[in-house]
Amino acid sequence: MSADLALPGPEMPVIDESRLMAEFGGDKEILAELRDLFLEHAPPLYEAIKQALGDQDLAVIARDGHSLKGACATYGAPRLAMVCKVIEMAAKAGDWETIDAQRQLFSDEYEKVFEAIGNLSAC
């Protein structure tokens, strides 16, 4: 795995609320809309990836991993975005060893994002 695909460390927030606030000028209405869009689009992508992992469907893992990575980056979930990037790139390379090694982290980070969303003061 190359250095640019390094996994997130504990110093990286699950949800980068300060970046979201700065990027959207502290507009809580926009942040709430963005949160709602994320909550609408992320779960089906996550479920599709989980299913594709079981089916060993690299094309779906790469495609939906890319889409979920983008949603996470837009919403300010950098840790999950990084894990999605690793899974996406591994799927494109046919690297099942890396994919298998990231399965639990993928699930854990996804759960952390949804827990953090419930605790956001901005929304």
- Determine, yes or no, domain membership for 90: yes
- Determine, yes or no, domain membership for 80: yes
Between vectors from CA 86 to CA 110 and to CA 112, what angle results, nearest 5°?
A: 15
- Determine, yes or no, domain membership for 36: yes
Whole domain around residue 90: which residue ranges? 26-118
One pLDDT digit (tens) per residue for the chain, 123 residues:
443 455 666 677 898 888 888 888 878 888 888 889 999 999 999 999 999 999 999 999 999 999 999 999 988 899 999 999 999 999 999 999 999 999 999 999 999 999 988 776 544
Q: What is the pTM of this model?
A: 0.85
Give the pair of three-digit tokens for residue 9: 């460390």
- Determine, yes or no, domain membership for 89: yes
Give the pair of three-digit tokens for residue 97: 């060893």
Domain with 35 in it: what CATH number? 1.20.120.160
- Determine, yes or no, domain membership for 21: no
Question: At residue 83, what is the residue type?
Answer: V
Give the pair of three-digit tokens for residue 54: 């079981």
Q: Domain count of the chain?
A: 1
- Determine, yes or no, domain membership for 62: yes
Residue 94 CA to residue 107 CA, distance in Å, equals 20
Considering Cα of 39, then 118, then 24, then 9, what sign does the dihedral take? negative
- Determine, yes or no, domain membership for 96: yes
- Determine, yes or no, domain membership for 10: no
